[in-house]
Structure 1
């Protein structure tokens, strides 16, 4: 089945790296990639009641810059080796990134989001960029893959899944991870941090349920 993957971008090196990572991760899969740039007009707040309308000078100037950036991005992507399994759709929209992502998930039936993160800098004490954190905190309709800055794509051989076994697992929530494991013949390492002694009956049942779900996947269990 064709996958529909959303790739938010601010046209930075970090965002481009995340896009390249997504192309590598899903190289063998038939995919529609949706490239999204959410723009705003200088001097206007998206939270304000006073926002420029289409046709107004500030709106059209911001839209033009967004479209120019998207054209430059497509020129870069066209230099990459062609993959007939991949198609691209471009979206430039006047909106906050979080709201734009929510709307596109609904209207385009998005399966997964891949976006970049930023390393720690002198001006920031957070590992993840604020946009990425906002998406991960506010988007629950589909998974988000956060790609660290400057990470070069290599097929994943191991996937760490951390759990306290307190959740009743649902296959529909974990199937993206299972798909990646099967796609790249990766081993899932299930990690439990022991903080309350031995597992109770409910946790043991959830562990068995997870084990049943991974019937056709290579996996191991680990406790620290």
Structure 2
């Protein structure tokens, strides 16, 4: 049974990318009772003019507009204006407002030209370790038919760890495709046991397991799957602190998945 109320945090710089993340969050949870917190982190640069009042007003107007135009009695919009960096603002607001998901926009493949560590998107993924981060590209169709869950079966699926993905699957009756990127080796005894446990965890939900041969890289294999199947509307993965299969969870793969995203990416923190 789904929680009665969800708290969704959406950082915004008032760009089209941020608006896309807002639109997607509203769409995903349109049938659920939610409070959407619109966060603007205002960092004061000594040499720059102080425009805090302008940004406060823009944030107020955005929350009022969404509340008025949405016409959804299950949704409430609140604005959070926080001084400091986005990372500090996230650390402050997530526990205070008991946030269930963070949604953040990205430019998609064009962002590959940018410095990874200079991106608010990847900085958010690295900073947030207590709730999932949904990375939303700006050109996505709103598809929810199928969800890819990429895993190496190296960890026992925690009962609560996968809940953010499972909740979305239940809301939309999505089929979960458990994708294992093969490295040419057979699964060991521990991986086989974890696969069985995951099967039990998914019991009652539409799902199937898919073995994919890794030809070039994990990232390219996952993107190819999403491109070949237009029913796939979301890719989910757990960001492990430590992993036997390093390539799946190391920063480079998460970065590439986020910045070349053509479908939303749900990054789930490792709570074990």
The TM-score bracket by the shorter chain reads 0.7 to 0.9
Taking a change above 3 Å as real, the CA distance of residues 75 and 141 of structure 1, as seen in their structure-2 partners, is: same
Q: SS at 1:171's partner residue? A: coil
2:185 aligned residue (193, 197, 216):
197
Matched, 1:170 2:158: yes
Alignment of 1:1-224 (within 5 A): 1-43=4-46, 61-78=50-67, 80-121=69-110, 124-125=113-114, 130-154=119-143, 156-224=144-212
Q: Deviations over 1:119-159 (max 9, x none)?
A: 233882478981010010121100000000132434x0000
Q: Deviations over 1:36-93 (max 9, x none)?
A: 0001123369xxxxxxxxxxxx6xx332022122134235424633100001111011
Residue 49 of structure 1 aligns with which residue? none
Q: SS at 1:173's partner residue? A: coil
Runs of at least 5 residues in structure 1 that lack an aligned partner in the other structure? 46-57
Report the RMSD for the aligned CA atoms in angstroms.
Answer: 2.2
Contact 2:34–2:75 (Cα < 8 Å) also in 1: yes
Q: How many residues align?
A: 209
Runs of at least 5 residues in structure 2 that lack an aligned partner in the other structure? 213-272
Q: Deviations over 1:149-176 (max 9, x none)?
A: 132434x000000111001110201011
Contact 1:9–1:35 (Cα < 8 Å) also in 2: yes
TM-score, length of structure 2 as denominator length:
0.72
Q: Deviations over 1:181-214 (max 9, x none)?
A: 1100100000001115111110000000000011
Distance (Å, rounded) in 2 between the aligned partners of 1:135 and 1:123: 17
